Amino acid sequence: MSVRTGVWAAAVALAVMTTTAALAEGPPKRGGTLTYLIPADAPPSFDGHRETTFATVHAAAPFYSVLIRVPPDNPASTTEFVCDLCTEMPKPTDDGKTYTFKIRDGVKFHDGSRLTAFDVADSWNRIVFPPKGTVSARVSYYAMVDKIEAPDERTVVFHLKRATTAFLPALADPFTWIYKKEILAKDPHWYEKNIMGSGPFKFASYQVGQSIKGVRNPDYYHKGQPYLDAIEGIFAAKQSVRVDALRADRAAIEFRGLPPSARDELVKEAGNTIAVQDSDWNCGNIITFNHKKKPFDDVRVRRALQLAVDQWKGAPALAKIATVRTVGGIVFPGSPLAATKEELQQMAGYWPDIEKSRAEARRLLKEAGAEGLKFELTNRNVDQPYKYVGTWLIGEWKKIGVSAEQKVVPTGPWFQAMRGGTFDVVVEANCQSVVNPVLDTGKYLPHTVYPENFGGYDDPKSIELYEKMQVETDPKAQRAAMRAYEKHTLDTAAHAIVTPYWYRIVLARSYVKGWKISPSHYLNQDLANIWLDK
Amino acid sequence: MHRYIVTRLLLAVPTLAGAAALVFVLMRLIPGDVCVIRLGSGGTHVNQAAVEACRLQLGLNEPLIVQFFQFLWSYCTFDFGISMWSGNPVSQEILIRLPVSLQIAVMASIIAVLIAIPLGTVSALRENTWLDHLVRLVAIAGIATPSFWLGIMSLVLVLDITYLATGKPWLPPIDYVSFWQDPLRNLSMVALPAITVGYRYSAVTMRMTRSAMLEVLREDYIRTARSKGLLEQIVVNRHALKNALLPVVTLVGIEFAFLIGGLVVTEQVFNLNGIGRLFVQAVQNQDNVLAQALVMLVVAIFVLTNLVVDVLYAWLDPRIRFS
């Protein structure tokens, strides 16, 4: 079976499963209040354009609309995008450089005013070209955008500098909420502390670090939705609080994800009153070597450390205790651009014969004069899965005689160590929302091109391979170009080790229906399609 | 007395200034900054232009000495600044959390005093009896058990007992409402944390009450009081306990001040949005402005509590007079 056929078969199977599940759930019931947990203290602000934390999305996404999004009924799809505020997904014109969106008629903001294309264009201009004095966290996602305009109140046009497959996934980013132009004109910071959108729920109240409440928007433009009368998000940073709250039905669902131990505990204690949804997560830990420190400037040493790790045995073992599961390359495993198992097994670090792999690792270390290598592995002071992954790697490296000491530091010093280049080897995080392989894999480019690469290396070949892949619009050719870039990154130059992708386990009371898990905790959070079966 | 209070208040100024300098320097010794954490802690890549815009907005590019004097001047004008994390005034951030912490501190203190003083006294009066041993055992267990662990255990116990009794596990509410809004819901949420914190607090106080009472009971004036034929109740309550309470009052004062900002883990266990949790968030997020304000608040509370304790000394022991 070819890769493409395999992907289609998986997509069809998923669609069948989704439909079957939907039929099994029966017709949605109306009413009730959904109480859900937000595993954070409090969002820094409510401005989605500015923030990057899920705490902002989980708290405020139900109050906003976006232009396009992943399909709420099939958010696991990595290639499908549907309209939210637009009327239909456009076909690009001008050799793939112009996208014209028609905006729905009759959409109202929660203050009763009409939402027009001018609001959409203004919000998008703020995201892509933030005015002085404002912060937009995702400017770099939209480097391909040349101009955004609204020629009339029903039309928004995006002009791109070049055709790229990265544009539509970037446009479906879940933080790109549509704000009211008039409000932004008066105060560009208004949305940091206030909420006023056009989403399925109207903002009701917020108690800092405690709870946020919303009520049904009767004027919502997706007819029939939302099903709930009200929502209440409770901020609960501590895992034990969330698990206890789910067990005692103080809350019905936690959308970010809990570790396997919590799942096992809850399922054991609450039985079929708890429903589990799980998915591969578009997040992972990347092991970055500091090329500016010896001996990590030597590709033989980096390759040896890559070869020492038994991903195929490690992943299922780790999955029992940590939020990781699937072995993957630089592209999220669910994407058509991702490597198959056979393709991965051609690269260093993924060989099926681990003994052969480790023998080669020892040989390389000896050749590089780095036998008995000792170094510090800088890690973030976060349990799941950072510390588990770090501890596992240390054990793997020990098997080729390498001794690594794990230095666990809080988030601030962790960032500082990476940005200041003071680490030997670091456990990094790479967590994205919409699966967008072209943008997501930019992470492996040298610092000169991608400032958030902390490896400290120059590599013109890497840039050349990425550029070739990036501009390719034919799926087959792009896939081949991605393989070449991946092979170079992980095998030839061994710039980084990609550890097993994170695994998202969402636990809910079994009466929560309609919501489907996606590969990201940022996605599908407007809660419009949730209903309560009680 | 008035002069003494004014002098003590004036002496608090250099204490506060010293604390301000210390916290300012210590916060800046932590590598990293709030902008990078804010824009990157989700695991997504940090946009450098956004970081620079954020740093500029928060004044982090100003020289440290300028930042320090801005900080001192703002305190002189009672402007405690804007939280670097949330953009809200620091005073607002603190005032939102203060009622929860104060309520827990007051309730825990009441529980502690109600348990500790009678039991500590009885323990001293029945020295080396089974009762004394039992009270000491309870006290040592209280000191040895971290209140957050006790908190977790108490929640598990509540869940399991209610499950066994009714078939449905019950948990106290996890979203705070004020006492004035819904007294029953409020008390059902804060009762467990107050009891768990109060127990540890009472254990320490119990030990102090016992040893102070033992010391006072051996004093000559107690022997005299007894030889005069006074009732034992009067000897204990009027002559012994009042004098033995001096160190206990000091301890209660220090513990109370600690509880305002020190219930870091307990607040997390019970999902209470208090000052302790805010403190941890401020340090984790490297929100220097907020962390500085919280340290200054705790220092101020300690200074004031110590002053109140000193004033109480005079009331408890007429031999002490301030000039």
CA distance A148 to B311: 69
How near does any CA of chain A get to the CA of B267, in Å? 10
Q: Which amino acid is at A514?
A: G
Q: Decide if B173 and A238 are in contact by the 8 Å CB cutoff.
A: no
How close does chain B come to A429, measured CA to CA in Å? 5
ipTM of the complex: 0.83
What is the gyration radius of the CA atoms in chain A, in angstroms? 23
Q: Are B84 and B33 in contact (CB under 8 A)?
A: no
- Beta-carbon separation of A412 and B30 below 8 A: yes
Residues of chain B numbered 297-316 and touching chain A (CB < 8 Å): none
Provide, as residue numbers in chain B, all residues whose Cβ is less than 8 Å from the Cβ of A241. Answer: 174, 268-271
Subunit contact A411:B284, Cβ cutoff 8 A:
yes
| Contacting residues of B for A431, CB less than 8 Å apart | 42-44
Q: Which residues of chain B make contact with A189, given a CB cutoff of 8 A? A: 87
Max Cα distance, chain B (Å)? 84
Per-residue model confidence as pLDDT tens digits over B161-196: 999 999 899 999 998 888 999 999 999 999 999 999
8 A C-beta contact, residue A225 and residue A529: yes
Percent of chain A with pLDDT over 90: 86
pTM: 0.88
Q: List all residues of chain B from 218 to 257 with a beta carbon under 8 Å from chain A.
A: none
Q: Which residues of A are less than 8 Å from B58 in CB distance? A: none
The shortest CB-CB distance from A211 to any of B41, B171, B175 is to B175
C-alpha closest to that of A44 among A35, A36, A53: A53
Number of Cβ atoms within 10 Å of the Cβ of A368:
17
d(CA B285, CA B35): 9
- Helices B183-217, B130-144: crossing angle, 10 deg rounding: 130
Mutate to test the interface with A, among B33, B37, B44 (most CBs of A within 10 A): B44
Q: Print burial letters for B153-190: b (CB count within 10 Å at least 16), e (below 16).
A: ebbeebbeeebeeeeebebbbbbbbeeeeeeebbeebb
- Examine the pLDDT at A19 and tell me if it is beyond 60: no
Cβ-Cβ contacts under 8 Å, B38 against chain A: 44, 51-53
Q: Write down the mean pLDDT value for chain B.
A: 88
Q: Which residues of A touch B46 (CB under 8 A)?
A: 415, 452
In this predicted model, what pLDDT tens digit does every residue of B48-105 receive, in sequence order? Answer: 778 888 888 888 888 888 888 888 888 888 888 899 998 889 999 999 999 999 999 9
Token couple for B76? 């002189």
Task: Please count the other Cβ atoms lying within 10 Å of the Cβ belonging to residue A496.
Answer: 24
Residue A68 backbone dihedrals phi, psi, to 5 degrees: -130, 170
- How is residue A26 written in tokens? 């029966």
Q: Which of B54, B174, B286 sits opposite A412 (nearest CB)?
A: B286
Is residue A422 classed as helix, strand or coil in its secondary structure?
Answer: coil
- The 8-class DSSP code of residue A199 comes to S
**Widest CA span of chain A, in angstroms?**
72
- Compare all CA atoms of chain B with the CA of A443 and give the residue at the minimum distance: B45
Residue A120 has pLDDT above 70, yes or no: yes
> Contact, A444 vs A495, CB < 8 A?
yes
What gap in Å lies between CA B127 and CA B301, rounded to an integer?
Answer: 36
Q: Which residue has the higher pLDDT, B104 or B257?
A: B104
For residue B9, what are its two tokens?
């208040």
Closest to B174 (Cβ–Cβ): which among A42, A139, A236?
A236
* DSSP-derived pairing of the beta strands A211-216 and A201-207: antiparallel
Handedness of CA A503, A507, A510, A516 (dihedral sign): negative
Site from B47, B100, B177 to mutate, A interface, most A CB atoms within 10 angstroms = B47
Residue of A nearest to B271 (CA): A236
CA distance A135 to chain B (A): 5
- How far apart (Å, rounded) are the C-alpha atoms in residues B232 and A430? 73
Residue of B45, B48, B288 best to disrupt the A interface, most CBs of A under 10 A: B45
Confidence of residue A22 (pLDDT cuts 50, 70, 90): very low
Query: Looking at residue A140, what is its pLDDT?
Result: 85
The single-letter DSSP state of residue B89 is: B
Q: Do A52 and B38 touch (CB under 8 A)?
A: yes
Task: Please judge whether A420 and B31 are an interchain contact, meaning their C-beta atoms are less than 8 angstroms apart.
Answer: yes
User: Which of A461-465, A470-474, B12-16, B32-36 shows the highest mean pLDDT?
Assistant: A461-465
Contact between chains at A248 and B33 (C-beta distance less than 8 A) = no
Q: What percent of chain B has pLDDT over 70?
A: 97
